[in-house]
Amino acid sequence: MAEVQKTQENLVYAKPRLIKDNVMHYCPGCSHGTVHKLVAEVIEEMGMENKTVGVSPVGCSVLAYNYIDIDWVEAAHGRACAVATGVKRVAPERLVFTYQGDGDLASIGIGETVHAAQRGEKIVVIYINNAIYGMTGGQMSPTTLPGMKTSTSPYGREEALHGFPFKVADMIKVLDGTCYVTRQAVHTPAAVRKAKKAIRKAFENSMEGKGLSFVEFVSTCPSGWKQTATEANTWMEEHMFPVYPLGDIKDI
Amino acid sequence: MKDVKLMKGNEAIALGAVNAGCDGYFGYPITPQSEIIETLMEMKPWETTGMAVLQAESEIASINMVYGAAAMGKKAMTTSSSPGISLCSEGLSYIAGAELPCVVVNVQRGGPGLGTIQPAQADYAQAVKAPGHGDFNLIVLAPNSVQEMYDHVFLAYELAFKYRNPAMILTDGVIGQMMEKLVVDEAKPRMTEEFIRENYGSWALVGNKGVVTSLELEASRQEKVNERIQAKYKALKENEVRVEMTDCDDAEFVIVAFGSSARIAAKSVEILRAEGIKAGLLRPITLFPFPDKQLQDLAAKGVKGFLVAELNAGQMVKDVRLAVNGARPVEYYGRMGGMIYSPGEIAEALKEKLIEKTK
C-alpha cells in the first residue's frame, strides 16, 4: 500500500506535540494514555511547556516522564504531594502537578495528599482511580469495590475484612485549602472533552494561586480487571460510577 | 563585617542556613532540635532572602519536600533528631539515587525506639553506613562547637553540590542546646535562576524538559549508575577528609572522638598529659569520608594504642580498627542512653585498657 502523504488538507488528528514518540507501555483500553494526551494538550495550549514540573508516582504511571515532554521528578511511592510542595515552594512561578494512581495516592500517600490539600498548596493533583494496583499485578487497593476480585481479595472484597471503598474526592472537598475538586472519566468523546476542560481549569487555578485542585479520573484497568477494553468501559459505567459518581464536587 | 553573637548550636544551624543562601527549609518538630525551625519561623527569611520555610506534617513529608526542592537545583534542608531521621531514610535513598544535593541535620538523642531526649552518638553507624536502602553513602560532618554548627552548613552545601550527594551534619543534644560565642560571616546571597541554569542545568529542572529519577529498569544501566555513585565516594575519600589533631606529634596514646565526645576527650588529654602520659586527640570532622590515612600514619609513627570514646555501644571503633588494621591495639570506651562520660572517666579508661595492658 502506498504511503499517504500527510497534508494540512487531509489531517484530521495529530498526536499532541508534547507527547513523545516513545511507545507507551500502557495496556489497550487503559485510561492513562488518554489522560496523558489531555495533560500534554493543555500544557501546550497554555504555553507552559518550559514552565511545568510534573511529579510522577510509583505505579503504572511511574514512567510518565517518558511520554510527556516537560520537566519531571519521579517521587517515592505515595510522596508525590510532598515532592510537589517542595518544588512549588522554591519555584512558585512553575506550574506543578502530581499524577498518581489510587494505590499511590489513596493508600500509602493519603497523608501527604491530605496535608498538601489542607495547606492549600498551589498545585494540581491528577488522580487516576481504577480501583486496583495495576503495576504489581492486580492487588486490592483502598478504592477496590465491595465484592471485586483481585489477587489479594481472591473471593471478592469483603467490607468486614478489608473495609470500605475510599471516596477520596469526597473527603478532600471538605478541606479549606482546596479550590476545585472534580470527578471525571475518559470513556466517551463527550467525557474526554469535559475532562480536558477540568484539567485546564485546575491548571489555571494553580497559576492564579487559588489553592489545590484535585481532578479524579474514574478509570479502567482492563488487565487488572481481566476484561477486554470495551468490557472494562461498560463495567466502569455500571459498577464504578455508582460509587464514584462523575461531576464537579467543589468549585470556588 | 563580622558580627559576634552568643547563641545555641541549634540557632546557629538556623542562622547558618539563611546565611548560606538556603532556598527551602522543611522540618517537623522533635526534641532536642526544635529550636532550628522555631528560630527560622521567627527570623521570617522569606521576607528578606526569599527562603521558604515550612512546617511539614511528618519527617517523611519533610525529606520528600527537600527532594522536590533539590530537583529544582535549589539549596534545600531538613533537620531532625534520631527517630525522625529514621523516617527520612527512604527519602535520603531517593535523593542519593537521583544524585541531588541537600543538607540534613541530625541532632541525636539516645535510643533505640523513642529512647531518651538526652544526647547520644548512637546514630553514627546509621549515618555513615546505612542511611537507607541500596548501597549509598551520605557525606557526614561532625561539628564540635556552636561555631562549627554554623560553619558546617556552608561546608555541607559546598560538598553536597560539588558531589551531587546528600550531606548530613551529625551532631547531638549537647552541641545543639549549648550556648557559645559565634562569629558570623557575611551572608551569601541565594543563587539566582541564571546561576542555577548555567551551573546546574545539566541535572536540575530548569525548564529544559529534564527528568529527575532514581529509577532504572535495565540492570546493566543501573550498574553504571551505582558505579558512578561509588566513584564519587572514592573521590570524596581522596579529597575531602577533614580531621583535627591535638597533641598527636609526640603522642604514645591517641584518643579518637568526634563531636561532643571530642570536647570531653580534649580535657582527658590535658589530664593525662599532667600525669606525664603522652596522650593526643584525633577528631574526625568528616565521618564520611573517614580519616583512614591519618590513623594509619599515626600507627606507623609509633603510637602505641588508640582509645575510641563515643556515646554508643562501640560503632566508630570498628572503623578505627579497620583503618589501623591490627597494627596497634584499638580499645573502646563509651556510655549510652543519654549518659555522658567525664574527662576523668575517659582518662582512666585509657590507662586501664591501653597502658596497663601494654605494660
Chain B nearest-CA residue for A48: B207
- CA torsion B197-B203-B208-B211 (nearest 10°) is -150
Give me the amino acid identity at A155: Y
Q: Evaluate whether residue A16 is within a structural domain.
A: no
Helix, strand, or coil here: A132?
strand
Establish whether the linkage from the previous residue to B289 is cis, with ω within 30° of 0: yes
Which member of A71, A83, A85 has the closest CB to residue B209?
Answer: A71
**Chain A residues whose beta carbon lies within 8 Å of the beta carbon of residue B88:** none
CB within 8 Å: A86 and B208: no
Owner of C-alpha cell 534542608: B77
CA–CA gap between residue B255 and residue B247 (Å, rounded): 10
Chain A nearest-CA residue for B89: A76
From first to last of its 252 residues, what are the pLDDT tens digits of chain A? 567 787 888 888 889 999 999 999 999 999 999 999 999 999 999 999 999 999 999 999 999 999 999 999 999 999 999 999 999 999 999 999 999 999 999 999 999 999 999 999 999 999 999 999 999 999 999 999 999 999 999 999 999 999 999 999 999 999 999 999 999 999 999 999 999 999 999 999 999 999 999 999 999 999 999 999 999 999 999 999 999 999 999 999
DSSP A2: P
CB within 8 Å: A90 and B23: yes
B147 interfacial to chain A (CB closer than 8 Å): no
B225 interfacial to chain A (CB closer than 8 Å): no
CA–CA gap between residue B281 and residue A105 (Å, rounded): 52
Mean pLDDT of the region B149-172: 98
In this predicted structure, what is the pLDDT of residue A13?
A: 87
Chain B nearest-CA residue for A64: B211
CATH code, domain carrying A193? 3.40.50.970
- Which of A90, A36, A75, A105 minimizes the C-alpha distance to B213? A75
Per residue in B327-336, pLDDT tens? 999 999 999 9
Chain B nearest-CA residue for A69: B209
CB pairs under 8 A between A and B: 121
Chain A nearest-CA residue for B191: A90
| Chain A interface, Cβ < 8 Å to B | 49-51, 53, 55-56, 62-63, 65, 69-76, 79, 82-91, 94, 111-112, 115
Domain boundary among B239, B270, B293: B239
What values do phi and psi take at A217, rounded to 5?
Answer: -115, 110
CB within 8 Å: A74 and B57: no
Q: Are B316 and B310 in contact (CB under 8 A)?
A: yes
User: To which H or E segment does residue B4 belong?
Assistant: strand B3-8
State the CB neighbour count (10 A cutoff) for residue B296. 14
CATH code, domain carrying B327? 3.40.50.920
Q: Give B177 to chain A, closest Cα distance, Å.
A: 28
Q: Are A75 and A101 in contact (CB under 8 A)?
A: no
CA–CA gap between residue B345 and residue B333 (Å, rounded): 9
Q: Give A83 to chain B, closest Cα distance, Å.
A: 4
Chain A nearest-CA residue for B210: A71
Q: Evaluate whether residue A62 is within a structural domain.
A: yes
Which member of A53, A72, A83 has the closest CB to residue B67?
Answer: A83
The β-bridge partners of A140 are A132
Alpha carbon distances (Å) from B296 to B282, B307, B324, B326, B327: 12, 14, 5, 10, 8
CA–CA gap between residue B256 and residue A141 (Å, rounded): 52
Task: End-to-end CA distance of chain A: give it in Å, rounded.
Answer: 54
* Same domain, residue pair B289 and B232: no
* pTM of the full structure: 0.97
CB within 8 Å: B212 and A72: yes
Per residue in B241-258, pLDDT tens? 999 999 999 999 999 999
CB within 8 Å: A72 and B52: no
Report the DSSP pairing between strands B76-80 and B305-310.
unpaired
**Residue environment code for A48-86, b if the CB has 16+ CB neighbours within 10 A, otherwise e:** bbebbbbbbbbbbbbbbbebbbbbbbbbbbbbbbbbbbb
Which member of B61, B209, B212 has the closest CB to residue A115?
Answer: B61
- Which of B228, B229, B225, B263 minimizes the C-alpha distance to B244? B263
| DSSP string over B269-301 | HHHHHHTT--EEEEEESEEES--HHHHHHHHHH
B337 lies in which domain range?
A: 244-358
- Which of B66, B92, B239, B105 minimizes the C-alpha distance to B165? B92
Chain B nearest-CA residue for A80: B64
With 0-12 / 13-18 / 19 or more C-beta atoms within 10 angstroms meaning exposed / middle / buried, residue B336 is: middle
Q: What confidence category does residue B86 fall into, taking pLDDT thresholds of 50, 70 and 90?
A: very high
Q: What confidence category does residue B43 fall into, taking pLDDT thresholds of 50, 70 and 90?
A: very high
**Chain B residues whose beta carbon lies within 8 Å of the beta carbon of residue A60:** none
**Chain B residues whose beta carbon lies within 8 Å of the beta carbon of residue A49:** 209
Non-local CB neighbours of B287 within 8 Å, separated by 6+ positions = B124, B127, B128, B140, B141, B142, B170, B258, B316
Domain boundary among B179, B212, B239: B239
**Chain B residues whose beta carbon lies within 8 Å of the beta carbon of residue A51:** 207
State the CB neighbour count (10 A cutoff) for residue B254. 31
B190 interfacial to chain A (CB closer than 8 Å): no
CB within 8 Å: B64 and A82: yes
CB within 8 Å: B67 and A86: yes
Which member of B58, B66, B215 has the closest CB to residue A86?
Answer: B66
Q: Evaluate whether residue A237 is within a structural domain.
A: yes
In this predicted structure, what is the pLDDT of residue B1?
A: 63
Count helices and strands in chain B by DSSP H and E runs: 14, 15
Helix, strand, or coil here: B307?
strand
Question: Using a CB cutoff of 8 Å and minimum separation of 24, what contacts does B193-198 make?
Answer: B196/B72, B196/B73, B196/B74
**Chain B residues whose beta carbon lies within 8 Å of the beta carbon of residue A74:** 98, 211-215
Mean pLDDT for chain B?
97
DSSP B104: E
Per residue in B107-142, pLDDT tens? 999 999 999 999 999 999 999 998 999 999 999 999
In this predicted structure, what is the pLDDT of residue A2?
A: 67
Interface residue of A44, A56, A89, A118 to substitute, partner B, most B CBs within 10 Å: A89
Q: Evaluate whether residue A95 is within a structural domain.
A: yes
CATH code, domain carrying B166? 3.40.50.970
Which member of A69, A75, A90 has the closest CB to residue B209?
Answer: A69
In this predicted structure, what is the pLDDT of residue A6?
A: 79
Q: Are B61 and B113 in contact (CB under 8 A)?
A: no
**Chain A residues whose beta carbon lies within 8 Å of the beta carbon of residue B70:** 86
CA–CA gap between residue A91 and residue A211 (Å, rounded): 16
Domain boundary among B239, B262, B278: B239
Q: Evaluate whether residue A11 is within a structural domain.
A: no
Owner of C-alpha cell 542556613: B17
Count helices and strands in chain A by DSSP H and E runs: 10, 9
Per residue in B183-224, pLDDT tens? 998 899 999 999 999 999 999 999 999 999 999 999 999 999
**Chain A residues whose beta carbon lies within 8 Å of the beta carbon of residue B98:** 73-74
Establish whether the linkage from the previous residue to B143 is cis, with ω within 30° of 0: no
CB within 8 Å: B212 and A90: no
CA–CA gap between residue A117 and residue A95 (Å, rounded): 16
CB within 8 Å: B54 and A89: yes
CB within 8 Å: A86 and B58: no
B37 interfacial to chain A (CB closer than 8 Å): no
Which member of A56, A71, A84 has the closest CB to residue B210?
Answer: A71
CB within 8 Å: B67 and A90: no
The total number of structural domains that make up chain A? 1
**Chain A residues whose beta carbon lies within 8 Å of the beta carbon of residue B206:** 71
Q: What percent of chain B has pLDDT over 70?
A: 99
Q: Are B106 and B80 in contact (CB under 8 A)?
A: yes
In this predicted structure, what is the pLDDT of residue A4?
A: 76
**Residue environment code for B215-243, b if the CB has 16+ CB neighbours within 10 A, otherwise e:** eeeeeeeeeeeeeebeebbeebbeebbbb
- Which of B98, B102, B101, B356 minimizes the C-alpha distance to B213? B98
CA–CA gap between residue A45 and residue B239 (Å, rounded): 50
Q: Give B72 to chain A, closest Cα distance, Å.
A: 7
A76 lies in which domain range?
A: 31-251
The total number of structural domains that make up chain B? 2
In this predicted structure, what is the pLDDT of residue B359?
A: 67
What are the percentages of helix, strand and coil residues in chain B, rounded to 5? 45, 20, 35
| DSSP string over B24-89 | EEEE---TT-THHHHHHHHH-GGGTT--EEEE-SSHHHHHHHHHHHHHTT--EEEEE-HHHHHHHH
Q: Distance of alpha carbon A195 from its chain centroid, rounded?
A: 11
CA–CA gap between residue B101 and residue B303 (Å, rounded): 38
Q: Evaluate whether residue A179 is within a structural domain.
A: yes
